[in-house]
């Protein structure tokens, strides 16, 4: 006998019969070893929360070794830090400086996208990367503000509080939302509940990000056209209407500068996509655009008064903001809601990006560690004037291509941002806002992944529909509503799969003991006197009634087919349970009811190959006793062989 849910059994030579000129042994279906209730709960708990067995390295180790392993587990920097070398430092410095050239203009731009002061974006590119370098397990993840989280935070908070009318309250809510995002992320990691973010399916994310990218791009028309009075709403109809109605505010100087630099940025992006070795061109383009546009505005400032600029940015390190966290009052609910939504989105992006680049270098990252690292840096960030940050795909791609070897590249980037904060802030005074709009448009265009949408259409129409629902929900309703509807559609798909499981009719492949779906395999033939059905799903309360009705319908249709073709009447219904991975009490009752209904119609029901867990419940519920002898077999072939022998004796 074998433990767990294995289908391996002891071989018992009960009967040897001749089928199609050969002999077949009938094997006994065995129960898994007995387990106490505590052992079963422990096993299930371990499989749900600890599938990776994170403590296996600690087994049979000395106390001091366990202490060192514990440090390495919670602080991965101790794992790779001991082997760090000057050669690795050289690569990390180059990659760190490269992503800093991207992080500085991106930080300012994304802060504007979240309706926050530009300086907050730079603050958010300093503290979080330092913390991630200590706690994170990815070697290539470039940490900082990202477009999607910035957009969602900006749109959700702006619906309740105006960033222009009440800037202090808005800033407090942004920091508070960041804090709750960090608490939520850290809790998921500590409680090992990362599977929650799996409800954001790929089609949902593709549609959501594409819709958000379109909305973000349209919102940047305010900066690209020099519009002063622009709608705060995020729906596509309102945005386009606002653009058209404010035509008199358009500034030709702003339009010319914006289009010129947008074409430049898109061209450099295209070059880097076509020739990946020239990645540095697109990486350096944003900072180059900022420098050139700032010089142009400064030199021709007498003629460019219509072009709005960033203005004064304070010098110095991140000021503390713990005193600005908002834990009571009428707006606390929106801060928590925003924190959870942005927390889920940033976790999904950060972990997905980290795993992508880890696979390219053949190493693994720990999802739960990443949740803790991202959560801690957001909690700490909320107390140091930062808003939601995570792993950025654009920064990580540049970091990877620039040759980063460890998380030290994040430290180098943070050090570069520190120098900028301390000494270079006055240089941004004449930086035009239109450049920030052009940088944002260039960044979010890459989020429109139409190739994946086409793939969804070819592979799974339901996934394509989910993608479209998310896309149009964001465009015409709101960012959070579009996301909520798309998640609802994804959950509905799960419910449909659970409540309406597949059942198929099996036939024999001639000359073999293989039984396959007759609708899928043209040479699979039905076996006279037998009707073989397979259930391809767990049997539970959600689908037990459906399965009863569907199986009786299959039997009725088979009777009609036999009558129409004048074939031999069937005597036995074989139910193949190979793909039934679990069963509950409702499922057990459904099996008993099916047997009773078939018995009234003079049919015998036979069960085949239940997995260990199902077999255990069939036995403990005494369901098998109701079936009588010769009602349980290891394979369909053995069931047919044994039942055929009995028919010959009885007839």
Residue 6 has what pLDDT? 38
Reduced 3-state DSSP string for 101-118: HHHHHHHHHHHHHCCCCH
pLDDT tens digits along 572-598: 999 999 999 899 999 999 999 999 999
Q: What is the mean pLDDT of residues 435-454?
A: 83
Measure the CA angle with vertex 201, ends 520 and 499; round to 5°.
50
For residue 38, tell me if it sits in a domain. Answer: no
**Domain at 14, CATH number:** 3.30.750.24
The whole-angstrom separation of Cα 40 and Cα 33 is 11
Query: Is the same domain home to 478 and 378?
Result: yes
Q: What is the Rg, in whole angstroms, of the alpha carbon atoms belonging to the chain?
A: 32
**Confidence class for position 417, pLDDT limits 50, 70, 90:** very high
**Confidence class for position 232, pLDDT limits 50, 70, 90:** low
Last residue of a domain, one of 460, 494, 528: 494
Average pLDDT, the chain: 84
Residue 300 has what pLDDT? 84
Query: Is the same domain home to 526 and 483?
Result: no
3 has pLDDT over 50: no
626 has pLDDT over 70: yes
Query: Is the same domain home to 471 and 519?
Result: no
Last residue of a domain, one of 440, 473, 494: 494
Query: Is the same domain home to 587 and 483?
Result: no
480 has pLDDT over 80: no
Query: Is the same domain home to 471 and 505?
Result: no
**Domain of 296, in residue numbers:** 79-494
Query: Is the same domain home to 100 and 163?
Result: yes
Query: Is the same domain home to 600 and 506?
Result: yes
The whole-angstrom separation of Cα 601 and Cα 185 is 57
For residue 304, tell me if it sits in a domain. Answer: yes
Q: How many domains does the chain have?
A: 2
644 has pLDDT over 90: no
Q: What is the mean pLDDT of residues 332-360?
A: 87
The whole-angstrom separation of Cα 403 and Cα 140 is 9
Instruction: Determine which of 37-41, 110-114, 216-220, 272-276 has the lowest per-residue pLDDT on average.
Output: 37-41
Those residues whose C-beta lies under 8 Å from the C-beta of residue 106, and which sit 6 or more positions away, are 121, 125, 144, 145, 286, 392, 394, 395, 439, 443
- Comparing CA positions, the residue from 158, 206, 191 lying closest to residue 349 is 206
For residue 72, tell me if it sits in a domain. Answer: no
Going from the C-alpha of 295 to that of each of 256, 345, 431, 552, the distances in angstroms are: 16, 37, 8, 79
92 has pLDDT over 70: yes
Query: Is the same domain home to 546 and 406?
Result: no
The whole-angstrom separation of Cα 616 and Cα 625 is 13
For residue 32, tell me if it sits in a domain. Answer: no
**Do residues 98 and 399 make contact, with C-beta atoms less than 8 angstroms apart?**
yes
**Confidence class for position 47, pLDDT limits 50, 70, 90:** low
Query: Is the same domain home to 93 and 223?
Result: yes
Query: Is the same domain home to 553 and 465?
Result: no
Going from the C-alpha of 557 to that of each of 371, 515, 554, the distances in angstroms are: 52, 20, 5
Last residue of a domain, one of 494, 523, 554: 494
15 has pLDDT over 80: no
pLDDT tens digits along 449-474: 888 899 999 998 888 988 898 889 88
Instruction: Provide the 8-state DSSP code for 585.
Output: H
Query: Is the same domain home to 139 and 283?
Result: yes
């Amino acid at each position: 006998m074998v433990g767990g849910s294995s289908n391996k059994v002891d071989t018992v030579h009960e009967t040897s019969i001749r089928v199609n000129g050969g002999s077949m042994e009938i094997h006994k279906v065995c129960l898994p070893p007995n387990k106490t209730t505590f052992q079963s709960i422990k096993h299930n708990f371990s499989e749900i929360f600890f599938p990776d067995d994170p403590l296996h390295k600690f087994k049979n180790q000395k106390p001091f070794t366990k202490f060192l392993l514990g440090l390495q587990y919670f602080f991965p920097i101790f794992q790779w830090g001991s082997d760090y070398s000057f050669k690795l430092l050289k690569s990390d410095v180059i990659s760190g400086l490269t992503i800093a050239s991207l992080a500085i203009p991106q930080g300012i731009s994304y802060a504007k996208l979240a309706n926050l002061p530009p300086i907050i974006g730079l603050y958010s590119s300093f503290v979080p990367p330092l913390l991630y370098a200590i706690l994170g397990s990815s070697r290539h993840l470039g940490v900082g503000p990202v477009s999607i989280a910035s957009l969602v935070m900006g749109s959700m908070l702006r619906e309740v509080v105006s960033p222009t009318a009440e800037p202090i309250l808005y800033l407090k809510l942004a920091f508070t939302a960041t804090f709750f995002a960090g608490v939520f992320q850290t809790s998921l990691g500590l409680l090992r509940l990362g599977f929650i973010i799996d409800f954001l399916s790929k089609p949902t994310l593709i549609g959501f990000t594409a819709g958000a990218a379109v909305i973000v791009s349209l919102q940047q028309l305010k900066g690209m056209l020099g519009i002063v009075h622009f709608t705060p709403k995020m729906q596509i109809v309102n945005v386009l209407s606002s653009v058209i109605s404010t035509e008199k505010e358009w500034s030709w100087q702003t339009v010319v500068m914006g289009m010129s630099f947008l074409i430049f940025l898109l061209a450099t992006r295209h070059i880097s996509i076509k020739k990946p070795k020239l990645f540095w061109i697109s990486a350096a383009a944003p900072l180059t655009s900022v420098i050139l546009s700032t010089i142009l505005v400064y030199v021709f400032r007498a003629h460019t008064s219509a072009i709005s600029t960033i203005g004064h940015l304070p010098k110095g390190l991140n000021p503390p903001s713990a005193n600005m966290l908002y834990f009571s009052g009428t707006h606390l609910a929106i801060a928590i809601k925003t924190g959870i939504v942005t927390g889920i989105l940033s976790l999904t992006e950060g972990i997905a990006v980290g795993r992508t680049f880890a696979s390219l270098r053949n190493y693994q990252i720990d999802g739960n560690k990443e949740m803790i690292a991202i959560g801690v840096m957001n909690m700490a960030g909320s107390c140091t004037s930062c808003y939601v940050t995570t792993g950025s795909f654009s920064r990580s791609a540049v970091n990877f291509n620039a040759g980063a070897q460890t998380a030290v590249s994040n430290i180098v980037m943070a050090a570069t941002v520190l120098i900028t904060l301390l000494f270079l802030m006055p240089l941004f005074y004449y930086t035009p806002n239109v450049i920030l709009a052009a940088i944002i448009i260039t960044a979010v265009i890459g989020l429109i992944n139409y190739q994946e949408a086409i793939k969804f259409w070819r592979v799974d129409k339901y996934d394509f529909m989910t993608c479209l629902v998310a896309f149009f929900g964001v465009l015409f309703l709101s960012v959070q509503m579009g996301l909520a509807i798309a998640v609802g559609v994804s959950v509905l798909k799960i419910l449909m799969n659970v409540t309406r499981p597949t059942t198929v009719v099996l036939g024999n492949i001639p000359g073999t003991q293989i039984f396959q779906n007759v609708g899928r395999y043209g040479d699979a033939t039905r076996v006279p006197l037998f009707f073989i059905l397979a259930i391809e799903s767990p049997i539970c309360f959600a689908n037990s009634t459906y399965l009863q009705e569907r199986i009786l319908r299959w039997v009725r249709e088979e009777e009609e087919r036999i009558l129409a073709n004048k074939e031999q009447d069937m005597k036995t219904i074989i139910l193949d349970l190979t793909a039934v991975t679990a069963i509950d009490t409702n499922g057990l009752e459904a099996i008993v009811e099916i047997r009773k209904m078939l018995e009234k119609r003079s049919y015998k029901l036979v069960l085949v190959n239940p997995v260990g867990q199902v077999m255990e419940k069939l036995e403990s519920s005494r369901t098998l006793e109701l079936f009588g002898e010769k009602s349980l077999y290891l394979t369909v072939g053995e069931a047919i062989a044994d039942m055929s022998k009995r028919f010959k004796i009885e007839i």
